[in-house]
Amino acid sequence: MLYHSEKADGLLGCVSVTEDASWQNGSLREECLNTNWFMSLEDAKEKLERWRNDNNEYRPHSALTYLPPAEFARNHAAYGHC
């Protein structure tokens, strides 16, 4: 799979990301990387930050008793678990 990246000289290049990349997050790939074209490095940063914010602040996660990660962390910190 190829993704565009902006080089230091401002020209666009391609970055290959393999399907078995160890950092891969299935939701990130399905909901952000596979659905967006990144026109520049700045564009990619903005789109990825929007996805990350939505994923961490608003989207419930089944492994966290259906709470968003930020809320789960706040709840656990309030009870002295962190």
pLDDT of residue 23: 46
pLDDT at 29: 83
Number of domains in the chain: 1
CA distance 21 to 24: 5
Sign of the C-alpha dihedral computed for residues 26, 28, 29 and 35 taken in this order = positive
Q: Which residue has the tokens 């490095």?
A: 41
Domain with 50, as residue range(s), is 2-78
Q: Is 6 helix (H, G, I), strand (E, B) or coil?
A: strand
Global pTM value: 0.62
Residue ranges in the chain whose pLDDT is less than 70: 1-25, 81-82
